Structure 1
Amino acid sequence: MRRKHVFADAVAASCGLTLVAALTLGVGTTAPDAASAEAAPAAVSASAAFPRPLYLEPNTDAAKSAARLRSEGSVASASLIDQIATQPTAIWLGDWYTTALLRSVIKRNVDASKAQGTTLVFVTYAIPNRDCGGYSAGGHTNAEYLDWNREIAADLQGTSAVILVEPDSLAMLSDAKCAGTAATRLPLLRDAVGILAAAGLSTYLDGGNSRWLSPTDQAAWLNAAGISGATGFYTNVANYNPVALERDYAGKVSSRVGLKHYVIDVSRNGRGWTGTWCNSPGAGLGVNPRVTPDSGKLDALLWVKHPGASDGTCNGGPAAGAWFESYALDLVRNR
């Protein structure tokens, strides 16, 4: 199974995203030995990664949906959607933006975050051969990718933003579809982390999830991708696994990557795994996102996946990334 990330209306003020984590380890390339990890620039310390509350982006699909429902007199439904619209979600940056629009999106959110006094969380999603030819195929070319990261670093210099670097980029490398990809991807990820970290940004790499690779295999990929130069790693992006299960898994990964810190996506894990990955019936909204000081290696519980963004044309959903209002309502009702 794959995570699907297809974005609708790239010019919109906010991007819906779809990102579903794989559960089955494909036959193909194997994880590299941890000894292959290369030295990387010094990371932003985990203690400094989330110094303020999480940034709440205005005018998201959920906010627009709630406003429309309320104007139509559907006050009860609007109140349910408000449970999504009033919570911080990560901001996704990808190759669907022109350079000018990328700068505009970043500036708008940086300015709003300064006014709020909050911590920005961005996701980069434009790695070459993204999704290894799957539903979310795309990304920049090798030649473009690092310049794209330099643009993001320059635009975010001085903001102390958090960057979740390229979901699926590591865990998926063990799939047969990605055979041969590691040789070019791993150096790109190491360099991207170096570029972003040099701008004072907190970087987290792809840590998969507890139902995907073993902690040992995931840690080997993280080491090879330069986790030593990153703040940490993230787990459970767009997946449904309970926090307790993810913390146990992430702790085992952390112990194999120099005791690095981590964050967990809790956007729709309120009911745990319900047996299918695509617009999973019965899934429930997770706990509200928040910074988690004094929680060991866990830095934050985040909504990385935008609750209510469709996984694709499955289980009654619209195109991947489109707002799926009935599903959003169900996520809240099943909380």
Structure 2
Amino acid sequence: MKRRTSVILAAAASLAVTGAVAQGLVSHAEPAAPAAASSLSQAAAAPSAVSAAAVKSLPKSMTFYVDPKSGPATWVAQNKSDSRAATIRSGVSSKPMAKWIGGWSGAPKAAVNTYVTAAAKKKKTPILVAYNIPGRDACGGHSAGGTSAAQYRTWIKGFAGGIGKRKALVILEPDSLADFQCMSTADANARQKLLTYATEQFKKSAPNALVYLDAGNSNWASAQDMSTRLIKSGLKNVRGFSLNVSNYRTTAQENAYAAKVNAQLRKKGAKAKPYVVDTSRNGKGSSGEWCNPSGRKLGVTSRVNQTPTAKSPEARLWIKTPGESDGNCGIAPNAAAGVFDPKIAVSLVKGK
């Protein structure tokens, strides 16, 4: 089955009408099991050894910013008398989650600067997602879009510049390295060059940002393929990689996959890297359904791992916004992709 993703890029005026706050990627299908090493990844030049200094653990005192204008927070503010508001406030909107930045956000430098500044005033670390790569969501198509290659270089440079020397945690381009089987070799190679450029911009302009290059999930690409793609996309320039963005795979499943990816990285002369896992809706794992399934549950809220090991994520994060619809389907047939739906949110809080 192809992986499906959705993004709502409506203007602010139409969002006000629906009460939704769209931030980017809103759904992923459960993809097919990993295939053997593809000819596409083998077509890339063999990676050379990568030298990197030992990575210190994230500070145990690090806590993440709660966005007062997130989709769930906006809904609660507009529906105070709704019987579900208290449940959503306590279970979802009061928790830290990622802010998605894309073509809908306006000038990236200004959008990122505004958000990072707000987090800094609260002495919290903001979680950001960069999501504007050309040919975005090549397999699923629901989030198809992105900008041109030339525009992307300017866009991602502005994104990094908006952070500057301040602290932020960034997830770089979800799905961008998991979509290769739906792309030509030329397009995949071009994407790797753009991602490398992006990592260089963060290294240069946002030296204190914790950047994680997205690596799909444990049921998407083989560890062998993914390790090659990561190396060829500038992994050496960033802190690590991210897993399970907008998906339902358990943390244990992602831990096992991360171990395989890191083993492959070492085998290819690169250093093992820290990783983070999206736990926004993996509390019960996957049911095999991707579009607003019932019975799923929130996972561990955004937090730094207090006892990190080589076989565990250094942070578990709500990267997907809990409660945003995957499309007109499942338990929210009347909620378009990207619209916050209280029924989905309550279902995730209660796990039923």
TM-score (norm 1): 0.89
| Letter of the structure 2 residue corresponding to residue 151 of structure 1 | G
Given the alignment of the two structures, is residue 309 of structure 1 paired with residue 309 of structure 2, yes or no?
no
Match of 1:5 in 2: 6
After superposition, the Cα gap between the structure-2 partners of 1:254 and 1:21, relative to the gap in structure 1 and judged at 3 Å, is farther
Q: What SS class does the counterpart of residue 114 from structure 2 fall into?
A: helix
Match of 1:252 in 2: 260
Q: What SS class does the counterpart of residue 164 from structure 1 fall into?
A: strand
Q: What SS class does the counterpart of residue 210 from structure 1 fall into?
A: coil
Give the Cα separation in 2 of the matches to 1:233 and 1:49. Answer: 18
Given the alignment of the two structures, is residue 323 of structure 1 paired with residue 340 of structure 2, yes or no?
yes
Give the Cα separation in 2 of the matches to 1:314 and 1:177. Answer: 27
Q: Provide, for residues 81-122 of structure 1, a one-character-per-residue CA deviation record: whole Å limited to 9, x for no partner.
A: 1211011111111112322xx344323322221121111111
Q: Provide, for residues 162-204 of structure 1, a one-character-per-residue CA deviation record: whole Å limited to 9, x for no partner.
A: 211100000111x235553212101110110011122212221
Q: What SS class does the counterpart of residue 312 from structure 1 fall into?
A: coil
After superposition, the Cα gap between the structure-2 partners of 1:98 and 1:109, relative to the gap in structure 1 and judged at 3 Å, is closer
- Corresponding residue to 2:298 among 285, 300, 306: 285
Shift in Å, 1:293? 3.5
Mapped contact 2:27–2:325 kept (Cα < 8 A): no
Q: Provide, for residues 230-251 of structure 1, a one-character-per-residue CA deviation record: whole Å limited to 9, x for no partner.
A: 2100000111111111111112
Give the Cα separation in 2 of the matches to 1:146 and 1:317. Answer: 37
Match of 2:268 in 1: none
**For 1:88-237, what aligned pairs fall within 5 Å after superposition?**
88-99=96-107, 102-132=108-138, 134-173=141-180, 175-178=181-184, 180-198=186-204, 199-200=206-207, 201-237=209-245
Structure 1 stretches lacking a partner, 5+ long: none
Give the Cα separation in 1 of the matches to 2:195 and 2:245. Answer: 18
Shift in Å, 1:31? 2.2
| Letter of the structure 2 residue corresponding to residue 310 of structure 1 | S
After superposition, the Cα gap between the structure-2 partners of 1:7 and 1:301, relative to the gap in structure 1 and judged at 3 Å, is same
Shift in Å, 1:321? 0.9
Given the alignment of the two structures, is residue 80 of structure 1 paired with residue 87 of structure 2, yes or no?
yes
Q: Provide, for residues 191-233 of structure 1, a one-character-per-residue CA deviation record: whole Å limited to 9, x for no partner.
A: 1001112221222111111111221221121112121222100
- Corresponding residue to 2:278 among 246, 261, 265: 265
Mapped contact 1:44–1:197 kept (Cα < 8 A): no
Mapped contact 1:41–1:194 kept (Cα < 8 A): no
- Corresponding residue to 1:65 among 46, 53, 75: 75
Shift in Å, 1:152? 1.1
Shift in Å, 1:136? 1.2
| Letter of the structure 2 residue corresponding to residue 296 of structure 1 | T
Mapped contact 2:130–2:173 kept (Cα < 8 A): yes
Q: What SS class does the counterpart of residue 189 from structure 1 fall into?
A: helix
After superposition, the Cα gap between the structure-2 partners of 1:255 and 1:293, relative to the gap in structure 1 and judged at 3 Å, is farther
Give the Cα separation in 1 of the matches to 2:177 and 2:286. Answer: 22
| Letter of the structure 2 residue corresponding to residue 267 of structure 1 | S
Mapped contact 2:23–2:101 kept (Cα < 8 A): no
TM-score (norm 2): 0.85
Give the Cα separation in 2 of the matches to 1:34 and 1:253. Answer: 17
Mapped contact 1:15–1:91 kept (Cα < 8 A): no
Does 325-334 or 289-298 show the bigger shift? Answer: 289-298
Give the Cα separation in 2 of the matches to 1:34 and 1:183. Answer: 7
Give the Cα separation in 2 of the matches to 1:35 and 1:177. Answer: 18
| Letter of the structure 1 residue corresponding to residue 324 of structure 2 | A
Structure 2 stretches lacking a partner, 5+ long: 266-270
Q: Provide, for residues 47-70 of structure 1, a one-character-per-residue CA deviation record: whole Å limited to 9, x for no partner.
A: 358862111111212112223443
| Letter of the structure 2 residue corresponding to residue 135 of structure 1 | H
| Letter of the structure 1 residue corresponding to residue 63 of structure 2 | P
Shift in Å, 1:35? 5.9
Q: Provide, for residues 247-281 of structure 1, a one-character-per-residue CA deviation record: whole Å limited to 9, x for no partner.
A: 11112212222210000000001111112111122
